[in-house]
């Protein structure tokens, strides 16, 4: 075959090929967020069972002034901004001269940030993976201190062993005096955590199943969404909620873009997301381990969630 006829696979296609060939089938949670997935995530944040976003927003709204007063920030960056709804409070406290860089892999999320927050700050969106986006910002930022946001406990989507290396990489893209506001969902009653990822309305199930729909749409796959079910599991040893898509029968799935067939046994799953939960006492160690100094930490009283403000040392 000549080079010209070798199909160029997207990163999504390559990751699907690898993830569905593994002995434990697994896909990165970033692929949950196409336009429909981003809209479904916004709906999740409104669910009575999903107290996490409301806790995060209460803390940010209450402490926005103290956060902004921690430095003379001109640039505010956000990893995985989503719609940026909670960031509104920070931008209002910062004033109109701030430049806001949402970094996200979802076009829909970045478009919402521009539309909703454009009157509060100059919004310069970066369509990129977290670390690539930070490296882009490092090249164009001003000398003044930068405030980096990583909200919604998205840090919990990383494997536990990846957390300190990831935070250390983030630290290397920052300068001494820059600040990092990072949200951590704390361990709480198991039923409460499980319901947050398996709501009675079925929105989280739809969010998870949409990943199969996305592979059908973008990779010409033929997943039968009705023969997979959503499952949320609490893994006590790893202190995480895992989201899985469970194959309800033995089946073969064709992925056209990969010209490959994947076999599923009855009960076999695709592991689509981990949400690690944290202990209050481990947070200062994470800060220190990655080269940050903990300046402040605020905990919500209704839904155990911690908002930590760190400074790059």
Return residues touching ligand SAM (CB under 6 A): 30, 33, 38, 41, 53, 80-82, 103-106, 109, 129-130, 151-152, 154
Which residue, 30 or 75, has its beta carbon nearer to ligand SAM?
30
Q: Calculate ∠ Cα 157-161-167, nearest 5°.
A: 70
Which residue, 103 or 174, has its beta carbon nearer to ligand SAM?
103
Number of Cβ atoms within 10 Å of the Cβ of 259 = 9
For residues 211 and 244, is the Cβ–Cβ distance under 8 A? no
Backbone angles phi, psi at 50, to 5 degrees: -95, 80
For residues 153 and 197, is the Cβ–Cβ distance under 8 A? no
Cα–Cα dist 147/125, whole Å: 15
Cα–Cα dist 192/300, whole Å: 15
Cα–Cα dist 75/8, whole Å: 37
Which residue, 108 or 245, has its beta carbon nearer to ligand SAM?
108
- The distance of closest approach from Cβ of residue 40 to ligand SAM in the complex, given in angstroms and rounded to an integer, is 11
Which residue, 82 or 145, has its beta carbon nearer to ligand SAM?
82
Beta pairing class for 179-185 and 99-104: unpaired
Which residue, 166 or 268, has its beta carbon nearer to ligand SAM?
166
Which residue, 44 or 253, has its beta carbon nearer to ligand SAM?
44
Which residue, 182 or 287, has its beta carbon nearer to ligand SAM?
182
- The distance of closest approach from Cβ of residue 82 to ligand SAM in the complex, given in angstroms and rounded to an integer, is 3
Q: What is the DSSP letter of 257?
A: G
Q: Is 149 exposed, middle or buried (0-12, 13-18, 19+ CB in 10 A)?
A: buried
- The distance of closest approach from Cβ of residue 66 to ligand SAM in the complex, given in angstroms and rounded to an integer, is 19
Which residue, 85 or 311, has its beta carbon nearer to ligand SAM?
85
- The distance of closest approach from Cβ of residue 267 to ligand SAM in the complex, given in angstroms and rounded to an integer, is 28
For residues 29 and 41, is the Cβ–Cβ distance under 8 A? no
- The distance of closest approach from Cβ of residue 62 to ligand SAM in the complex, given in angstroms and rounded to an integer, is 16
- The distance of closest approach from Cβ of residue 57 to ligand SAM in the complex, given in angstroms and rounded to an integer, is 9
Cα–Cα dist 307/87, whole Å: 13
Q: Residue number with the shortest CB distance to ligand SAM?
A: 152
- The distance of closest approach from Cβ of residue 2 to ligand SAM in the complex, given in angstroms and rounded to an integer, is 34
Among residues 210, 160, 191, the alpha carbon closest in space to that of 42 is found at 210
Long-range contacts of residues 259-267, Cβ cutoff 8 Å, at least 24 apart: 260/17, 262/20, 262/21, 262/25, 264/25
- The distance of closest approach from Cβ of residue 3 to ligand SAM in the complex, given in angstroms and rounded to an integer, is 30
230 - beta bridge partners? 245
Q: Is 17 exposed, middle or buried (0-12, 13-18, 19+ CB in 10 A)?
A: middle
């Amino acid at each position: 075959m000549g080079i010209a006829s070798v199909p160029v696979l997207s990163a999504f296609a390559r990751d699907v090929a690898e993830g569905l060939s593994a002995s434990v089938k697994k896909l990165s949670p970033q692929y949950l967020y196409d336009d429909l997935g981003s809209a479904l995530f916004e709906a999740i944040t409104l669910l009575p069972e999903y107290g996490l976003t409301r806790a995060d927003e209460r803390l940010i709204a209450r402490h926005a002034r103290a956060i902004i007063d921690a430095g003379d920030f001109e640039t505010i960056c956000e990893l995985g901004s989503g719609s940026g709804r909670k960031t509104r409070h920070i931008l209002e406290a910062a004033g109109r001269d701030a430049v806001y860089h949402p970094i996200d892999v979802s076009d829909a999320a970045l478009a919402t940030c521009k539309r909703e927050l454009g009157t509060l700050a100059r919004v310069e969106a970066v369509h990129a993976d977290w670390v690539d986006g930070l490296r882009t910002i490092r090249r164009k930022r001003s000398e003044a201190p930068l405030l980096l946001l990583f909200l919604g406990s998205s840090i919990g989507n990383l494997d536990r062993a990846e957390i300190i290396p990831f935070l250390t990489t983030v630290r290397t893209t920052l300068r001494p005096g820059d600040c990092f506001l990072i949200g951590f969902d704390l361990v709480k009653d198991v039923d409460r955590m499980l319901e947050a990822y398996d709501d009675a309305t079925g929105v989280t199930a739809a969010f998870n199943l949409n990943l199969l729909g996305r592979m059908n749409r973008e990779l010409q796959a033929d997943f039968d969404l009705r023969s997979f079910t959503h499952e949320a599991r609490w893994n006590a040893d790893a202190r995480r909620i895992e989201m899985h898509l469970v194959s309800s029968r033995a089946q073969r799935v064709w992925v056209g873009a990969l010209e490959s067939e994947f076999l599923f046994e009855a009960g076999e799953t695709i592991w689509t997301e981990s949400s690690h939960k944290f202990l209050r006492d481990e947070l200062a160690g994470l800060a220190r381990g990655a080269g940050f100094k903990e300046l402040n930490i605020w905990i919500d009283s209704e839904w155990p969630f911690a908002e930590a403000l760190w400074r790059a040392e």
